[in-house]
Chain A
Amino acid sequence: MALEHASGDKRFKILEVHMKKHQFRHDALIEILHKAQELFGYLEDDLLLFVSYKLKLPPSRVYGVATFYHFFTLKPKGEHTCVVCMGTACYVKGADKVIGAVQEHLKIKAGETTADNNVSLLTARCIGACGIAPAVVYDGSVTPRQSPESALEHINKWVAK
Chain B
Amino acid sequence: MAAKTLTIDGKSITAEEGATVLQVAEEAGIKIPTLCHLEGIYDVGACRLCLVEVVGVPKLLPACATKVAEGMEINTDSERLRKYRRMTLELLFAERNHVCAVCVSNGHCELQTMAYSLGMDHVRYEYLFPKWGVDTTQRLFGMDHNRCILCTRCVRVCWHIEGAGTKNVSGRGTKSHIITDLNMPWGESVSCTQCGKCVQACPTGALFHKGSTAGEMERDRGKLEFLVTAREKHQWVVAV
Contacts and interface: CB of A to CB of B under 8 A. Distances in A.
Task: Classify chain B: how many residues form its interface, as a range.
Answer: 10 to 19
Contacts of B166: 58, 60
Contacts of B7: none
Interface string A96-126: 0000000000000000000000000000000
Contacts of A58: 159, 164-166, 168, 181, 191
A61 B169 CA distance: 8
Given A45-B182, A48-B182, A49-B182, A60 B171 contact: no
Contact of A59 (B169, B171, B172, B182): B182
A8 interface: no
Nearest to A70: B172
A74 to B, nearest CB: 9
A12 B100 CA distance: 49
B61 interface: no
B155 to A, nearest CB: 8
A60 B165 CA distance: 7
Nearest to B165: A58
A59 B171 CA distance: 14
B98 interface: no
B159 A63 contact: no
A61 B182 contact: no
Given A45-B182, A58-B159, A58-B164, A63 B191 contact: no
Contacts of B159: 58, 61
A67 B170 contact: yes
Contact of B167 (A57, A60, A67): A60
Residue among B155, B167, B181, B191 with max Cβ neighbours from chain A (10 Å) = B181
Contacts of B168: 58, 60-61, 63-64
Interface in B157-190: 159, 164-172, 179-183
Nearest to A68: B172
A48 B181 CA distance: 10
Contacts of B165: 57-61
7 contacts: A48-B182, A49-B182, A60-B167, A60-B168, A61-B168, A63-B168, A64-B179
Given A58-B168, A64-B169, 16 more contacts: A45-B182, A48-B182, A58-B159, A58-B166, A59-B165, A60-B167, A60-B168, A60-B181, A61-B165, A62-B182, A63-B170, A63-B179, A67-B171, A67-B183, A68-B170, A68-B172
